[in-house]
Amino acid sequence: MFVKLAGRTVVIIGGGEIAEGKIPGLFVAGARVRVVAPTATRQIAAWAGQGELLWVAREFSPSNLEGASLAIAATSAAGVNHAVFQECEDRGIFCNSVDDTENCHFYYGAVVQRGDLQLAISTNGKSPALAQRIRKELEEGYGEEYAGWLEKLGATRDVLRAKAGAPERTKALLHRLASQEMFDRFRNSSAAALRTPAARTQVGNQPEPLAEGRARGPWPAATAKVYLVGAGPGDPELLTVRAARLLHAAEVVLHDSLVSREVLDQISPVAKIIDVGKRAGQKLLTQDEINALLVSYAQDHEVVVRLKGGDPAIFGRAGEEIEALRRAKLPFEIVPGVTAATAAAAAAKISLTDRRAASQVLLTTFSRGSDGALMDWSAVSSATTLVLYMPGPDYAEVSRRLLAGGLPRELPCAVISAASKASQQVRWSTISHLATEAKLPAPALLIVGYVAGPHVQEISEQAWSMLEVALPASPVSRLI
């Protein structure tokens, strides 16, 4: 129970070891402690002799509760504990009877304390042993460094609230400072300071005011860094934990048009968000301009995120941006994401590497530019799963190019649109029938290969009849 007890009277009925164990926490809370018991432990007697508590050496009587805000019945006599509880009930005083849930207004939780940070676990009195076990686990997960971090959070909060800033912006800044990313930076900075005595400098008792969402003063000074982050296929629950933390901590985010609104909603409300993607095939910015923006923002901000749909290193043009950051001698990190190929396969409920039908996977894009005619399909065999990113709206052209490359007419394929989103669609076909399929909305992806074949119920009987005649001994026949 998180109660301000400073200066308030708490009466403990009982003078044994259980009663003794309740007292130190009350001292920390600043309570005035009154112990009522004919006899008491040596420690309780010592505290009484030092004037730290009042010991009334007699049996309990209702008058002992005068002026009490809280009472604890810690005797070994159930009748006494019940009498204490009933008297408290009549007087409107909260009472806890140790190990007696029926005679309690509140329960003691198992507590992990790190300075002013208190984590309390309660089982409503059903299993104190379980509460103790969970407490030990929390003690391992929340180290002593949380006490210092909370002190800095509190000091920063006081500074921000003293300023005449917009309340919503102040709230957003405080949430950002309390993020896991900021704690990791604080912990790493503290560890580095302990390793390097010369780095221990006194910054002062109060942090500097925050400007543009950046943490200064006692907060760890981190080198500016650019994060090339994979946004995944669109479902925010498919973001990696690291990606989500970086979006919460970001000061600037440059994102592509394929990044979903649900993922963009995960970005810190104080971050500057810049759309650098395509609209209807038209680029808002050239790649050189995007590179220049990354370098410029990284020079003025600590956490710059380049957010790309799927995985940044797969058809995300990350190579040019990496080169630009290296030329500028700026640190960067690639944070992988769930790429469209695996998201689409999951949506279609198929395995890209089903060992009964495929021994390799080829990821490529369907280019309609001048380099499209140079695409070499000779490496694609019947044991290959071909994944075509961005097949575009002209399925007939895709079908012609695949057939011209020597792929079987009745090789199964699947078009997956908006994988992982609420609008997700999957259409099953074959290469020869692909030209007649209705177009699915972008973003879409095409999976070609026998791994797309087991879904007989999704494909017309005519198509599969043709397939069985054309390829009677193929792996897909065995799968059927």
Q: Which residues are catalytic?
A: 256, 278
Torsion angle (degrees, nearest 10) of CA 280, 283, 284, 285: 170
Question: What CA–CA distance (Å, rounded) separates 479 from 356?
Answer: 8
Cβ contact 294:254 at 8 Å = yes
Buried b (16+ CB within 10 A) or exposed e, 280-296: eeeeebeeeebbebbbe
Q: C-alpha distances in angstroms, 253 versus 234, 247, 272, 291, 325?
A: 16, 8, 6, 13, 16
Cβ contact 435:391 at 8 Å = no
Q: C-alpha distances in angstroms, 306 versus 253, 405, 440, 456?
A: 6, 37, 28, 42
Question: In sequence order, which residues have a C-beta less than 8 Å from that of residue 355 and are 6 or more positions away?
Answer: none
Place of tokens 């592509």: 256
Question: What CA–CA distance (Å, rounded) separates 7 from 377?
Answer: 82
37 phi and psi angles, rounded to 5 deg: -170, 140
